[in-house]
């Protein structure tokens, strides 16, 4: 039995753009599960708070068809991407 393909697409998403949305939709079609990691990086001086950015990404993926939104998890993270990848058992970085 093949293992589940879990991918991570990480960024600050401050704000989320049409390009981000396109990549999320394309990646979700290729993977069993996509985790959109919204990075907490105060050094970048974000416009939106982490909670606002997470909610904006969630709202954006709601329009995806064919059940794709059900395979996408949006969550904040801090620290190294590799540590986050281990935490969510990711096998693919987008």
Per-residue pLDDT of 36-72, as tens digits, reads 999 998 888 899 999 999 999 999 999 888 889 999 9
Give the Cα separation of 67 and 79 in Å (integer).
Answer: 31
Long-range contacts (CB closer than 8 Å, 24 or more residues apart) made by 56-63: 56/13, 56/15, 56/16, 57/13, 57/16, 57/20, 57/24, 60/16, 60/20, 60/21, 60/24, 61/21, 61/24, 61/36
- Which is more confident, 63 or 80? 80
77 pLDDT tier (thresholds 50, 70, 90): very high
Provide the β-strand partners of residue 93.
Answer: 8
pLDDT at 2: 61
In this prediction the pTM is 0.93
């Amino acid at each position: 039995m093949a293992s589940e393909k879990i991918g991570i697409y990480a960024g600050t998403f401050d704000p989320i753009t049409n390009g981000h949305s396109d990549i999320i939709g394309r990646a979700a079609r290729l993977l069993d599960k996509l985790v959109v990691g919204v990075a907490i990086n105060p050094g970048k001086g974000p416009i939106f708070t982490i909670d606002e950015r997470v909610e904006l990404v969630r709202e954006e993926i709601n329009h995806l068809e064919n059940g794709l939104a059900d395979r996408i998890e949006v969550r904040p993270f801090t620290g190294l991407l590799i540590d986050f990848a281990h935490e969510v058992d990711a096998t693919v970085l987008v």
